[in-house]
Amino acid sequence: MKLSEKIRFLRLKKNLKQSDLANALQVSPQAVSKWEKDNNAPDIFLLVRLSRLFGVSTDYLLGVHDKDPGVFEATVFYSGLQGFARHSAQVSSRELAETANALFYPLTEAVLRHDGIPVKYVGDGFLSFFSGASHADRAASAAIRAKKASGNEALVIALSSGEIYLGSIGHPDYSSRDIIGETVNLAFLIAPWVEKKCKSRIGLAPETASQLGKKFFLKNHPPATLRALRSKVAISELKT
């Protein structure tokens, strides 16, 4: 199998569009299209990032030997809506779906605007990730844009940076694209705290805060004790 065929095969296996792969690598969709048509090839630096994203070795991509599992660095963007459970008990299922979709549209557009990759929607929950250059900065910019675009004060956003695994999760006949790992779990865990303690309703895990550029303004909160974690976590609030 040629490199072009492997890129296409692995992209489809991860359930990614060409534009998703382009966003993850910070290249143009046209570049990905050329790779898959065997009209061009990624440079060595991009081969390394491709191998991490797909969870294979560079040797596998270059045809030296078989693949091995791997993960890659990213910033996870998780959001939910304060009071959604209470609201769900007061309206019809159709009205609840309309509420969710009205929220998910500006959220998704904000993430795509900053080259993030949407992963899934569950109830009021929205999960996506940013990888490649300045992934923490782009996630933070998307969070600010999402808050402004949605106009919803109840929108809560949690960002967490570190290693994640991207793949198909579930029964082979019904599996879907998902991201898992401690970085994802941390975003889920800090969200309830962010909802209660952060006025802007945007909270950052320590690793994300440490990677942000100077254009962002943060408020540091005292280390918080979170359920299921053995140590306290210093959560920062992103000011809008």
pLDDT tens for 111-139 read: 999 999 999 999 899 999 999 889 999 99
Residue 183 tokens, joined? 């970085």
Helix (H, G, I), strand (E, B) or coil at 142: helix
- Per-domain residue ranges of the chain: 3-61, 72-238
Question: What does the pLDDT look like over 69-119, one tens digit per residue?
Answer: 557 899 999 999 988 888 888 889 999 888 889 999 999 999 999 999 999
Top CATH class, 3-61: mainly alpha
The tokens for 75 are: 């910033």
User: Residue 26 CB: number of other CB atoms within 10 A?
Assistant: 16
Say if residues 110 and 145 touch (Cβ distance below 8 Å): yes
Distance CA 159, CA 203 (A): 6
Say which CATH superfamily domain 72-238 falls into.
Answer: Nucleotide cyclase, GGDEF domain (3.30.70.1230)
Q: Minimal CA–CA distance to 19: which of 11, 136, 51?
A: 11
Enumerate the H helices of 66-205 as residue ranges: 84-88, 93-113, 135-150, 182-197
In 3-state terms, what secondary structure has residue 106?
helix
What is the tens place of the pLDDT at every residue in 35-57?
A: 999 999 999 899 999 988 888 88
pLDDT, averaged across the chain: 90
Give the predicted TM-score (pTM) of the model: 0.80
Question: Residue 68: is its pLDDT beyond 50?
Answer: no
Angle value at C-alpha 74, between 81 and 182, nearest 5 degrees: 70
Number of neighbouring beta carbons within 10 Å of residue 215: 8
